Amino acid sequence: MSETLACWASHDAASRGRVRPEAPPLYRSEYQRDRDRIIHSTAFRRLVYKTQVFVNHEGDLYRTRLTHSLEVAQIARTIAGALGLNSYLAEAICLAHDLGHTPFGHAGQEALNRCMADYGGFEHNLQSLRVVDELEEKYAEFPGLNLMFETREGILKHCSRRNAATLGELGRRFLEGFEPCLEAQLANVADEIAYNNHDVDDGLRSGLITVEELAEAHLFREQYDIVRDRWPDLAGRRLVHEIVRRMIGRVVEDAIVTSRVALETAGPESAEAARHAGERLVRFSPEVGAAHLELKRFLRERLYRHNRVIRMTTKAKRTVADLFGAFMEEPRLMPEGHDHEAARMEALQGPGGRARAVADYIAGMTDRFAILEHSRLFDPSALV
């Protein structure tokens, strides 16, 4: 596979490897192996019932964390192929980047972070790393999935300096200011493209925003005018899909062209050189970057802060906080195994250890399981 990659791509042979060395795979690359391990993980399957914007029970056709991750990976593979990057590594990062997300999306994360304020806080990127490094139970020889360094690096999209200082080589870039590998940079761009565009689609499907309102945003208006001019009678879902797919195409093409120029100008001769180029080399043009940011702000104000969304997120935050309080007070309310882990971690780390075990349990819940567990604990008429 190395013959098809550009010099600045991540090559298996130049990788920093796995924490626990393993014999190389016979019929696939190391990063293919990582992708496959992620797809077969329990945490990946749980994403199908975790919120993106709309809670699972609000409708069957809205995106979930799983469908979002698949869309991000598809976009990343296209861009990776055009830039000569390692598409298997980019795909692995994209499929794993949300494994640590709580139920109820960002609302659940905010609530759990507040609950954990006295115990080191909660960061979903760090939790995703914790999932693949420790919490998955799949292999006899090691905990977690034992992924390659570059995959783990890409999963850790954000990290506080305090936590980065505890991560050794993996956290060094947050302390010294250099960039992750190009495939990780690509995963960030693909994530932005996917969530902006599918939130437009889901927002329109929900009726919380309209085509006319979205036409205020340049990126949407540009494609809306093209579609309307070519198919003046197009309406409904076909109109929306035609606009959204063209929006995705517009920003993907811009990212490819802009990044290709940046790579050729910087001329990194290796993946390591690309990390130290002094800037992100996989990126949008200033024009499209600004339009993308405008659309993101529109969605924040008109969709994410819509009263119907706020009502659900308020209930979600209360659910997470109630669960955390109950399990901290009495860990034996958690299923057998989780309560033992809480006791083990408390013996090693004190109350912070118990809190981290409780956070692990709650973060692993799906939306519907969290709602059911809350009912079991706080509704006297509910079956236990």
Q: How far apart are CA 108 and CA 362, in angstroms?
A: 9
pLDDT of residue 348: 87
> Residue 2: which pLDDT band, with cuts at 50, 70 and 90?
very low
For the whole model, what pTM was predicted? 0.93
Is the pLDDT confidence value at 246 over 90? yes
Using CA atoms, how far apart are residues 224 and 317, in angstroms rounded to an integer? 36
Q: Check pLDDT > 80 for residue 59.
A: no
pLDDT at 366 over 70: yes
What integer best gives the mean pLDDT of the chain? 92
Which of 21-30, 149-158, 177-186, 197-206 is predicted least confidently? 197-206
- Residue 202 has what pLDDT? 87
Domain ranges in the chain are 26-308, 321-378
Question: What's residue 127's pLDDT?
Answer: 95
Confidence of residue 261 (pLDDT cuts 50, 70, 90): very high
Question: Residue 51 in 3-state DSSP?
Answer: strand
Model pLDDT for residues 267-293, shown as the tens digit of each residue: 999 999 999 999 999 999 999 999 999
At residue 307, the pLDDT reads 87
What pLDDT is recorded for position 380? 82
pLDDT at 57 over 60: no
The DSSP element (H or E) to which 133 belongs, if any, is none
Q: Which residue has the tokens 């000569």?
A: 84
If you average pLDDT over residues 171-199, what whole number do you get?
Answer: 94
Residue 206 backbone zone (phi > 0: left; psi -120 to 50: alpha; other: beta)? alpha
Across 203-207, average pLDDT? 88
**pLDDT of amino acid 58:** 58
Give the whole-number percent of the chain exceeding pLDDT 70: 96
- Mean pLDDT throughout 320-327? 96
- CB 11, CB 2: distance < 8 Å: yes
CB burial string 210-232: b at 16+ within 10 A, e below: eeeebeebebbebbbeebbeeee
181 pLDDT band, cuts 50/70/90, is: very high
pLDDT of 153 higher than 90: yes
Confidence band, pLDDT 50/70/90 cuts, at residue 1: very low
CATH topology of domain 26-308: Hypothetical protein af1432 (1.10.3210)
Residue 24 pLDDT greater than 50, yes or no? yes
- Torsions phi, psi for 51 (to 5 deg): -65, 140
Strand partners, 18: 148
Output DSSP code: residue 302. I
Q: What is the pLDDT of residues 93-149, one digit of tens each?
A: 999 999 999 999 889 999 999 999 999 999 999 999 999 999 999 999 999 999 999
Burial (CB count within 10 angstroms: exposed 0-12, middle 13-18, buried 19+), residue 348: exposed
